[in-house]
Amino acid sequence: MKTYDEKHIKNVALIGSAKSGKTTLAETMLFEAGIINRRGSVEEKNTLSDYHEIEHERGSSVYATPLHTEWKDYKINIIDTPGLDDFIGEVISSIRVCDTAVILLNAQHGVEIGTEIIFDYVDKYRRPTILAINQVDHEKANFQQALEEAKNFFGPAVTLMQYPLETGPGFNAIIDLLKMTMYKFPANGGKPEKLPIPESEKERANQLHNELVEKAAENDEKLMELYFEKGNLDEDELREGIKAGMMNHQVFPVFCLSAKKDMGSGRLMGFIDNVAPSAVDMPAEILEEGQEIKCDPKAPTRLFVFKTYVEPHLGKLSLFKVMAGEIAAGTDLFNEKTGATERIGQLFIMDGKNRNSVERLKAGDIGATLKLKNTRTSDTLNAKGAAGSIDPIHFPEPKVRTAILAKSKNDDEKLGEVLQEIHAEDPTILVQYDKETRQLLLYAQGELHLSVTRWRLQHVYKMEIEYIKPRIPYRETIQKPAEASYRHKKQSGGAGQFGEVFMRIEPFYEGMPNPKDITVRDTEIHELPWGGKMVFLNCITGGVIDSRFMPSIVKGVMEKMSEGPLTGSYVRDVRVAVYDGKMHPVDSNDISFKIAGMMAFKEAFHAAEPQLLEPIYDVETEAPEHVMGDIMSELQTRRSIIMGMDNRGGYQVIKARTPLAELDKFNSTLRSISQGRAKVKSNFAEYAPVPGEIQKKLTEEYRKTEHEMHH
């Protein structure tokens, strides 16, 4: 396979909502270029792109798949991405390394929900954008309406390059405004014949062509002058202007096609070749350290790893873009993050699961290698003499969480390791062991993301797991003072145990005065690792308890506070005073006073109107106005307090405070109420008292499990 230079490599990501035809278009582009000799289809599960077993089961893309095609002396690298925002991580990493985003719009549905979320990232990375209105041959296709929606959503940058002569099943001809030609396709698609524009369309085509010329001239002063001078621009000048406009995000060229019938894809590829920018044209990459890196084939080699995944039977595959220099098989590179040296043993160009070996790849190209031991997604690999890391991919925060258990005890340890491996492949999945609730937590982008992860654990790693509801990290405290005493006495041949403690406990608040009726000899303030305080007052007079036993009493109290009497949760904000007690000259020891302190605290706690506290989150929901009522009532059924409303960019924002216990599955409910249009952010706010009936239920549940454990 020939090595393309940096000017003849074009990288495009196909993005858009589910069912907009990305995988079909990718297949058609490879077929048109003669890379494959027959086209597969999503229905028959034999496309080059969706080749993973789970994609066959689901009938849609789950992973971003790199492919390539060669068209008229150019190499086009294509990344086919999933359309559902559960797999947004795959889309973002593809946008990050592509030089042009091709957004597919389904001619029946126009701009769909997912498109909005994805476009945020295209916009953030300022990627030149082509809009391809697909499925123009569908009986419900409405090209004009899809175009209007695109103009409303993407703004004045939307620029028509061609339009269909007719839509629906009769679609077989495209009026091209750049070349001012009509392309007419044979019944089964493929190579069109070029015909003059029919008389009936001339006026419309001329008017649209002039709009295109003006749009192209706007982006380049030289072209503007030329345009004023001669009233028109030739095809090369037009291309130059359109390319400049794409680079400034001022021109989003619109194409029309039927990927399924293979009509219009060749023209789109020709445009990508001739007009879409290559990596060399793009602004420099920025290093985390701030320097700029141009895509220069003569500079020291730099690879940016944008995706890693483990292939069963193969091991770890790393996909990268050559950001500068060139790479040959057998080269050693240095990983800036891990400090490891990695040998690039083999080099491939991927077409779905097919790996094509290559000798070398130049700046701007996309390739793959196997078995990099210490390199993950977003890492930079540098040749000697190059330093610094390319700004990593910034993935969104997870939206759902669940606790996860291995069904077999033997898999417990392995599960954590495997999940870390999955996180390394897909950074939008986070794993965390919560020491407080003693659960392994898995965070993901949505319910579907969780079910695909379960599928992978089952099929790739051969592990059976279950998802369970995450426990809530409650806190316990008290509402009034109470007193208790406890005598610990144990006599068993030889030395006995004896300790007696009289204790008063009170709710603690900042600046509270010392008790009036007892003398405080010593005060200890303990800042608790889980928040809040425990203040310990030593009020012993006349030496009834030796001061050397005080630390043991404190230890007993702290032990009970780390597993509170109500629900086993952490206790906070309590003041403990020990004011009387007894010792035995022989039998008193540390363990006796530790137990006495613990039991006195437990008894006093139950008498002090114990209160359970729950974590409350600030929840901000952004959604279109017409679903606000439904979202409000949903929040209220989840015990939320509405804090305020706001307006932001045409969307309504509701701010609420919601208990964490009520946020389970909130995201999925929100998604269905708003058809995926709502966004939600939540952050921990404070601990607040749990309503009485809920406290009662939780305390009873805890007693029951305690009882079962002890019997």
Note the pTM of the prediction, 2 decimals: 0.83
| Residues 556-593: tens digit of each pLDDT | 999 999 999 899 999 999 999 999 999 998 888 999 99
Question: By the 8 A CB rule, do 459 and 465 touch?
Answer: no
pLDDT at residue number 158: 93
| Residues 38-47: tens digit of each pLDDT | 777 777 677 6
pLDDT at residue number 500: 95
Q: Please state which of the ranges 311-315, 470-474, 568-572 shows the lowest mean pLDDT.
A: 311-315
User: Which one has a higher pLDDT value, 280 or 63?
Assistant: 280
Query: What is the C-alpha to C-alpha distance for residues 133 and 110, in angstroms, rounded to an integer?
Result: 8
The share of the chain scoring above pLDDT 70, in percent, equals: 97
Structure tokens at 639: 């015990």
pLDDT at residue number 49: 64
pLDDT at residue number 229: 77
Question: Interior CA angle at 277 toward 273 and 280, to 5°?
Answer: 115
Q: Which domains does the chain have, with CATH numbers?
A: 6-195+249-281 (3.40.50.300), 291-382 (2.40.30.10), 400-468 (3.30.70.870), 476-608 (3.30.230.10), 612-693 (3.30.70.240)
Q: Mean pLDDT across the stretch 282-297?
A: 87
Query: What is the C-alpha to C-alpha distance for residues 250 and 244, in angstroms, rounded to an integer?
Result: 8
Beta strands 430-434 and 173-176 are unpaired
Nearest C-alpha neighbor of 344 from the set 329, 363, 366, 364: 329
Q: Give the H/E segment covering residue 629.
A: helix 628-637
pLDDT at residue number 50: 60
3-class secondary structure, 346: coil
Q: Mean pLDDT across the stretch 435-450?
A: 90
pLDDT at residue number 425: 85
Beta strands 533-538 and 574-582 are parallel
pLDDT above 80 for 173: yes
pLDDT at residue number 120: 86
Query: What is the C-alpha to C-alpha distance for residues 35 and 349, in angstroms, rounded to an integer?
Result: 13
Q: HSE on the CB side for 272, CA within 13 Å?
A: 34
User: Which one has a higher pLDDT value, 154 or 219?
Assistant: 154
Query: What is the C-alpha to C-alpha distance for residues 253 and 179, in angstroms, rounded to an integer?
Result: 14
Residues in the chain: 711
Q: Please state which of the ranges 351-365, 506-520, 533-547, 689-703 shows the lowest mean pLDDT.
A: 351-365
Q: Mind giving me the DSSP string for 270-338?
A: HHHHHTS--GGGSPPEEBTTS-EE---TTSPPEEEEEEEEEETTTEEEEEEEEEESEEETTEEEEETTT
User: Which one has a higher pLDDT value, 50 or 415?
Assistant: 415
pLDDT band (50, 70, 90) for residue 230 = confident
pLDDT band (50, 70, 90) for residue 27 = confident
pLDDT at residue number 596: 96
pLDDT at residue number 387: 84
How does the average pLDDT of the chain come out, rounded?
A: 89
Cβ burial, residue 598 (10 Å; 0-12/13-18/19+): buried
pLDDT band (50, 70, 90) for residue 684 = very high
Q: Mean pLDDT across the stretch 257-270?
A: 90
Q: Please state which of the ranges 222-226, 300-304, 520-524 shows the lowest mean pLDDT.
A: 222-226
pLDDT at residue number 84: 81
Q: Mean pLDDT across the stretch 447-464?
A: 89
Q: Mean pLDDT across the stretch 260-285?
A: 89
Distance in Å from the first CA to the final CA of the chain: 72
pLDDT above 80 for 509: yes
| Residues 686-707: tens digit of each pLDDT | 999 999 999 999 999 998 887 7
Sign of CA dihedral 226, 228, 229, 234: positive
pLDDT at residue number 48: 64
| Residues 326-360: tens digit of each pLDDT | 999 999 999 988 888 999 989 998 887 788 899 88
pLDDT above 90 for 552: yes
Q: Would you report the helix, strand and coil content of the chain in percent, each value rounded to 5?
A: 30, 30, 35
| Residues 385-431: tens digit of each pLDDT | 788 899 899 998 888 899 999 988 888 888 988 998 889 888 999 99
pLDDT at residue number 312: 66
Query: What is the C-alpha to C-alpha distance for residues 253 and 176, in angstroms, rounded to an integer?
Result: 12
pLDDT at residue number 1: 62
**For residues 624-645, b (16+ Cβ closer than 10 Å) or e, as one string?**
eeebbeebbebbeebbbeeeee
Cβ burial, residue 385 (10 Å; 0-12/13-18/19+): exposed
Q: Please state which of the ranges 498-507, 658-667, 675-684 shows the lowest mean pLDDT.
A: 675-684
Q: What is the side-by-side strand order in the sheet with 430-434?
A: 430-434, 439-444, 400-406, 465-468
pLDDT above 80 for 225: no
As beta bridge partners, residue 535 has 525, 575
The structure tokens 């080699």 sit at 301
pLDDT at residue number 415: 92
Structure tokens at 128: 């030149």
pLDDT band (50, 70, 90) for residue 51 = low
Q: Please report the beta strands in 392-444, taking only residues with DSSP state E, as ranges in sequence order.
A: 400-406, 430-434, 439-444
What would you report as the CA-atom Rg of the chain, rounded to the nearest whole angstrom? 33
